[in-house]
Each structure stands twice: as C-alpha cells, then as structure tokens.
A and B are shown apart, each in its own frame.
Chain A
Amino acid sequence: MKINQKLFFQLGIVILFFGLIGILINNLTINLIRTGLGINFSWLFKPASFALAEHPLPYSSSDSYAWALFIGWLNSLQVIVSSLLLATFLGILVGFARTGKNSLLGIISAGYITIIRQTPLLLQLMFWYFVGFLGLKDNVLIHIKDIFIISNQGIELSGFKLSSEFSALLLGLSIFTSAYIAEVIRGGILSVPRGQWEAYRSLGLSERKGLISIIIPQALPAIIPGLTSQYLNLAKNSTLAIAVGYSDIYAINDTIINQTGRAIECFLILLTSFLLLNLLISNSMEIINRIIINSRKYN
C-alpha cells in the first residue's frame, strides 16, 4: 500500500512536470508562428559578410554564418582554456600563500582576494582593457629586445602576438577566478585535521614532502567540487568578452542576430554550445574526482 502510494505520487509529479513543459513548448511554438519568427536554420549557410579581427582558422567575410559561429566558439574556447590554466596556477599560489606560515605573504594574498572578490568582474575587465592596455596609449610598457613587448596593441612574445582584447580578457578572467580558487584551496587545506600536520612532522617528513604526500591528497576531495564550479563560472563569464571587443561566440551571435533577426535560433545555438562545453568541464572534473577518491581507497 505504502509503496503504491509513493509510486502514485511520483508518477503524478512526473506527468505534471512533462505536461507543464508540453504546454510551455506549445505556447512558444504558437507565439513564434504568430510573430512570424518560426524556427528555421537555413540562414546558417548564407555568407556572413562581416569580418573578424581574430580567427584561429582561416576566415573571410564570404564564409557562412555557421563557420563564423564556429570560429567564435574556438575563440571562446581559446580564452576559456588559457584562463582556466592561468587561474588555477595563480589560485594555487595565492591559496598556499594565504595558508602558509609567512605572515607578510598571508596579508598580501588576503588583500588580493578581498579586492578581487569584492569588485564586479565587468568593471575589472573594463579596467584591464581601457585602463590597463589602452591606457598605455603610444607608450610601450615593457620592451625587451623585440622578444617581449607589452603595448596598447597587446602582448608580443618573440613574434607570437596576443591582441590587447584577448590579453585583457585573459588577465581579467584569470585574476578574478584565481581569487575564488585560492579560497577553495584554502578551505580544502583547512579541512584536513590539524593532527595530520603533527603526524607527518613526528614521522620526520620534511614540510614539502608532508604537504605533497599527506595533506594535499586529503584536501583534494574537498577542493575538486569547488574548483569545478569555479571553472564553470569562468566559462560562462567569458561571454563578457563583448565588453572589451573580443570576438567570442556571444559577440558574434550578437552581430548575427542583428543581421538575420533570428534571435531564438541564435540563443538556442548559444545555449547548446555552452551546455555542451560546461558538461564537458563538469564531467572531466567528475572523472578526476573519482580517480582521486579511488586512489585513496586502495592506499
């Protein structure tokens, strides 16, 4: 009787849920037809007729909208992956500095985290771009024998060029996310019981060895989930690229919506591409997490 009741309720909720979704989808279709916005993807293969400043693969304005979107997705991926690496690196540095014994480093990193976390990301991006890079005007900040140049045209490293838009976005996203990652790492390290420190010290292990083989493995399971959500945030925050003139997928979508009037389709594409990207990130992190948990079990 009790099981039947439970089953009945669950079934009821499922029917209600899908019914609701059905009504909403039906409603959307009716309204789309009414406003003459019926979903149609054939425009994707027409020439885009706009140029892009940055394209990792060959692109010209006579290529299709679909190709332009793909280039935009690659541009997004480029900035997401590089910021992800840089943010993790910075986050680990700051996180350890914050938990370490050196009180000067501790104060500096605490200040860094406070300032970065308490100001909006959009503002920081604008700052890095308009004040940081473009603020250089015609003056060059660093110029080492044509090998490493920072100017208002971006960063140049022995012939390899990063535009000021990409550099500002990379810097802004990495620094913003690194402050959060530092806190996640600090939380993870502090979650390891105090006794573990005393334990490895009494075993005669060096500080470095103890940290690497005793503390970090125990802190990782607490760090990974927090890290995952920071990575997901970073991927989504990359759409703020539009504020600093970088041609990411969102900025290109913006142009295409204006040229074609296909807002619903463009947002569908945008939503799907971010959903896929973030599923990829969260699933890879899940795998890493599982490997760590399993390795602990058998040790």
Chain B
Amino acid sequence: MRRLVSGIVGLAALLAGCATTNQDNSSRLNLIKNRNELICGVSGKIPGFSFLKSDGSYQGLDVDICKAFAAAFIGDSEKIQYRPLTAAERFTAIKTGEIDLLSRNTTFTLSRDSSGGNGLTFAPVVFHDGQGLMVKKESKISSLKDLANKSICVGSGTTTEQNINDAFESASLPYTPIKYQDLNQVVAGYLQGRCSAMTSDRSQLAAARSGFKNPKEHIILDDVLSKEPLAPASDGQDQKLADAMRWVVFSLISAEEQGITKSNIYEKVELAKNNTQLKPLRRFLGIDGGLGEKIGLSNDFVVKVISSTGNYGEIYERHLGKNSEVPIPRGQNELYNKGGVHISPPFN
C-alpha cells in the first residue's frame, strides 16, 4: 500500500514537472523576431526534402521553406535552428512550443487541422504527393492484389499506416503490417526481405531508392493509394503566425507565376520603383500597399524571401529537379497554368 501511494505521488510529481509556466499570449511571431532565430522542425532523413549533409548543413525543399520563413520573419535565411523530429514527436513539439513551426513533409488532413483534432493550422501545400508501394522487380508483383497475405513494411505514426489499412480493407485483402518507427528501419526491413513491399509517399520511395545499391531492381507500383498534400504547419491558436506563413509560401508561388527569380529580383525592384503604372508588381514587392505590415512582416518581405531562396520553381529544381540527387518529375507540382495545381491568390 505504501509503495502504491509513493508510486502515485511520484507519478503526479513527474507529470506536474512537465508543465512550464509559459503564459505568454502574444503571437509566436514576435517571439521569433525577438529571439532573432527561427526554430524549425524538420525530418532530417529524407533526401530531397530535409537531409543532413556531410558538412553538417540541412538541405532540401522543406529546409528551403524554413529558410524562406526565416528570411521573411527576421530578414536572414541562415538564422535557423533545425530540430529533427520523428513522425510521432512532431505535433507535440508544436503544441508545447518546442519549435516555432513544422516544415517536415506533413500531410494536410482534417483531423490535424482542426481544433478538435491535433489543433494545428496548415500553410499552403508545398508538395503534392501520393502514397505508393515499392516492390522488388524479381518478385513479379504488379498490383495491390498480388500483395494479399504478404507482409508490408510501414512507418508507424503516419497517415501512411492508415492509408495502407484503408486500401487493403476496402479491397478485402488480408495483409500483415510490419511497423517501424522511422523510414531507415522500414527500408532495412524491406531490403532484408522481411516484407514483400514497403509503402510510403511516392517521393519518399523515390528518395529511398536513390540510395539503394541497385535502384533498378526495385519498382514503384502504379497504384496510388492516397492524396498526400504536404504542407508546413504551426499552432492552430496562433492566427498571426499562420497568416505570415501562408503568405510567405504564396509569395514563392506567385514569384514563379510572375517570372521573378533569385537572379532578377533586384532588377524587378528597380523596374517597379521606376514605373508607377506597374501596380501589382509594386504591391508584391512592397513598394506600395503596405501588404507586409498587415501580416506582421516588413513590407518588402517578398524581396527578402526571393533573394535568399528563389521562387518555388527554383527551390524545386534545386532539390527535386532533373539534375538533383532525387529527381522527381514535377507533374502535379507545376503551376496551375502549366498543368499542375499550384496557384497563389492575389497579393491585393
């Protein structure tokens, strides 16, 4: 009895110890500016999206989105502290304030976006993905049906886990999920032959395959199991930060629509300054309209962003383009006027 009581008291003390006395109600955006550093949650394990290079720097599309935020919020795209997080840790890290925002190939879903669910808010989608399956060529598996009664390696704590279940259940096919905590283990389990297939977002499958000894011996099946719109996220109660993030992402897309790039941004600024009739461009670059102030940023935040990371298309080319280490055809991720789905609302 005494032991039980002391155990319960200890438990209570431990739990209470987890709480912090942070009752600051102002926006996280002010905190970031005062700190002069952005704390950005990333994965750190996915080539092309966020990956730790041998020189100790993080690189990838998700990382460049962090850089765009830092450039817009504090005017310096290098003042970032990256926090590598597992799929299971990421949302708690936002809610407890350990990180300012998440840029970690996270699927935008209703449950995650809602106050009754994970209580987050999502910025616009930065990469449209879909879940796929990868199998060994020699296995002769060509569709979902061939995988009945087989083991499938899957990362736990992701939408992936739910989607694979939905897919097999709706086709009334039995299967065995072998769940690992991170993608490297999923890959190891698959390569070692524990599973007949591994499943993840198609971009991640392509990224993983690029690191295999014989990438050509593995094929990604044509079945696309889900829509996986990947987007940055922040705390759902912080409207101000969410607004700023939303328009930073749109500025990347809008810049591509207007042909504004890292190399011509200052020419465009000069052009806009000298030509008062170029109203939309002047507003976009912060010469007129005071749009930046409305979202708690400086009026020329777009100039800061584009001059440090380039537009969306440039970021994509750098990390996922033809000449990158993880080439993924742009497909859905093209602009709306080129057959894709990316579009920016007007900067008015």
Contacts and interface: CB of A to CB of B under 8 A. Distances in A.
A257 B169 contact: no
Interface residues of A, number: 49
A109 B161 CA distance: 44
B39 interface: no
A53 B192 contact: no
A152 interface: yes
B111 to A, nearest CB: 7
Interface in B217-249: 235-237
B179 A259 contact: no
Interface in A18-62: 20-21, 23-25, 27-28, 30-32, 34-37, 49-53, 61
A49 B158 contact: no
A53 B162 contact: no
Nearest to B18: A28
A261 interface: yes
A260 B162 CA distance: 12
Contacts of A143: none
B87 A258 contact: yes
Specify which of A130, A138, A251, A255 lies most central, judged by the most chain B CB atoms within 10 Å of its CB: A255
A78 to B, nearest CB: 17
Interface in A128-163: 130, 134-135, 137-138, 152-153
A137 B194 CA distance: 8
Contact of B7 (A36, A130, A279): A279
A175 B14 CA distance: 31
B267 interface: no
A242 interface: yes
A28 B13 CA distance: 11
A51 B151 CA distance: 12
Nearest to B181: A242
Given A31-B20, A245-B180, A251-B179, A137 B91 contact: no
B157 A51 contact: no
A255 B161 contact: yes
A243 interface: yes
B324 interface: no
B346 interface: no
Given A130-B192, A164-B194, A25 B157 contact: no
B21 interface: yes
A218 B313 CA distance: 77
Contacts of B321: none
A24 B20 CA distance: 9
A243 B20 contact: no
B303 to A, nearest CB: 35
Interface stretch (B28-36, B112-120, B325-333): B112-120
Q: How large is the interface on B (under 10, 10 to 19, 20 to 34, 35 or more residues)?
A: 35 or more
Interface string A147-189: 0000011000000000011000000000000000000000000
Interface string A74-85: 000000000000
B162 A50 contact: yes
Contact of A275 (B11, B16, B165): B11
A137 B11 CA distance: 44
A25 B16 CA distance: 5
Nearest to B192: A134
B3 A279 contact: yes
Contacts of B11: 271-272, 275
B193 interface: yes
Contacts of A243: 181, 185
Given A21-B16, A30-B23, A130-B188, A258 B91 contact: yes
Contacts of A34: 23
Contacts of B92: 257, 263
Nearest to B188: A130
A36 B236 contact: yes
Given A36-B236, A37-B95, A261-B95, 12 more contacts: A21-B12, A25-B12, A25-B16, A50-B161, A53-B177, A134-B194, A243-B185, A245-B185, A245-B194, A259-B111, A263-B91, A272-B11
Interface of B: 3-4, 7-9, 11-23, 87-88, 91-92, 95-96, 111-112, 115, 117-119, 151, 153, 156-158, 161-162, 165-166, 168-169, 175-181, 185, 188-189, 192-194, 235-237
6 contacts: A21-B9, A25-B15, A27-B16, A28-B15, A51-B176, A275-B7
Closest 4 CB pairs of A and B: A24-B16, A134-B192, A261-B118, A258-B157
